[in-house]
Structures are given as structure tokens and as C-alpha cells.
Amino acid sequence: MGATKFVCPSGNKIPITTCLGKCSNEQRCMFLPTLRAVAKSLDRNIKEPTVTELLCGTRETYLKKTTDYAVDPLQQIYALHGSAVHTINEGFTDGNILSEERLADDVTSGKFDLYGQIIDFSDKTLGDYKITSSYKLMRALGYYKVDVPTGEVYKTGVKKGQPKTRKEWRIDGVRHILDWAIQLNYYRVLLEQRGFEVKDMKIQAFCRDFSLRIAAERNITKPLYIITINKISDHWIKLYMETKSKRLKEALENKKLPAACSSKERWNDRKCLDYCAVAENCEYGRKVKDLLAEAVA
């Protein structure tokens, strides 16, 4: 069970092994080595639920583990970018830095990216790489716009007499980084269970669309940002992960489909429409797609 098929640009779904053996089209959608890398990235062969799997909706993870599904290799390219960044940086660590270590407890397992002297003279910093969009980075940094009076008023038109305003950026908004914070905090727990003290947690976020105008319009002016992650109480983080792990394990043992993912986990249905690989195996996901098709028709 798992990702067993590729979705061709034509929309056809073919077994991954068949695709890698011989393309049915005149020309492949990408180089064969790239397709092989995508296929390998989909075959993780990890039995216990991982931290990143538990951050997803329980139904989504359950369906990925119990059903066959198809993925569009083009949509996996950014994941390969992330793996490449990890590989490049891993080649430049030293004796003061631990990297790419998988740790596990009786709840879950996780592979942290970096731990040690990675950003300052402290040798107890936990770090994580993220490849993300300017939109998500804007929200993670807490950037937002406000209307500021210019001191002038409209002299004509429907707004005559009303004050004029201009948009200004503020950087003190809510930081939408809960999933990142949960992930790093549980890596911290796994490290501390083994006697490693974690003083700081940092994310090094690469903006994949930095060169586009839309990034500048979102106040993203650099290709890379360092984001500090605050500590979450051990009691809360352990309770959260234990609850998610228990739900998944019980569903797998009983072969019972879990409840639909929460609105947050579904990204208000946006994930069901475009980003969930198992949406077609989910009654809720199919319903969302069908409603969109009816609206377009």
C-alpha cells in the first residue's frame, strides 16, 4: 500500500514501475533520474508513525498507509529541493554538529536536521530547514498590512470628502507556525530524553519564489530567513502527540477509517482540492472535488 502510481501530464495514472521502465508517451515529463529520485522519496519504509505524519490529519495518514494512490511527480519537485538542501548542508557539518539523526520513543519517531553549534557560540541549538513559499513565509513572520491616513481627502468621486489612506507593513502580527513549532518541540523532547540539552530552536526558511514580484509584494525581501521557535510545555506537546499517535494506531489495528480531518488540517478544504494525494480515496475529499466540478460546470 502507498504511492504506487504516477499521474501523467495527460491525466492517466500508470504504475510507477511501468513509468520508470518505459514511458508510454513520445517524451517523458522530466528526466528519468529525476523520476527515479521522486519514486525513491515516496518509499520511506518507516513502520512507526513519524512526527511529520502525526502533524497531518489522522484520516490522511491512515489512507496513505492502507490504500494505493497516485501522485503527480511534478508536485513532488519541491520535496526533492528540500532533500537536496539537506544533503548539501550535511556535507559541511563538523564535530560540533549532529545532523540527520532519527530518534524514536514509544509514541513516534523523527529525524532532526541539525543540533549543535549552528548559528552562534551556543552548542545546544536545534535547527530545521524549510523550503517554503513567500505566502507561507509572510504568515510565519507575522507580516501584515494596515491602512494609514495620509492627511488628505478625496476631492471627487464616490469617496469625496473621505480620508485617503496608504498601505503600510507591520511585522508584529500573529506568527502562523504552529505545525513547525510542534515538530521542533517534539524533536527537542526526543533529544532531551537522551540527555541532550536544547537551549534554542531555529528554522532556516528558504523562500522558493523569492525572485518573483509576488514575494516583494508580500514584504519578503530576502531568499532566506531565520525564525525562532519558542518552547511549548512538555506536558502539552507530549499529550498532543500521544493523542494523535493513539488515534492512528487504533484505526490501523481496527481497520476503521478515522473521522474526517479537521478544517485546519484540510486547510479549509484547499488541501483536499489540490494537495492531498489520497483525496480520491476519501469520501470527504471526493465530495469537495465534486462540488468544485459542479460549480465550474
112 and 101 Cβ atoms separated by less than 8 Å: yes
What pTM was estimated for this model as a whole? 0.90
Domains and CATH numbers, the chain: 2-259 (3.90.320)
293 vs 220, higher pLDDT: 220
Per-residue pLDDT, 167: 94
Q: State yes or no: pLDDT of 66 exceeds 80.
A: yes
pLDDT digits (tens, 9 = 90+) for 138-151: 999 999 999 999 99
Q: State yes or no: pLDDT of 26 exceeds 90.
A: no
Average pLDDT on 102-113 reads 94
SS3 content of the chain, % helix, strand, coil (to 5): 40, 25, 35
* Phi, psi angle pair for 247, to nearest 5°: -60, -45
- pLDDT > 70 in the chain, percent: 100
Per-residue pLDDT, 170: 95
Quickly list DSSP for 183-209: HHHHHHHHHHTTT----EEEEEEEETT
Q: State yes or no: pLDDT of 297 exceeds 90.
A: no
pLDDT digits (tens, 9 = 90+) for 166-201: 999 999 999 999 999 999 999 999 999 999 999 999
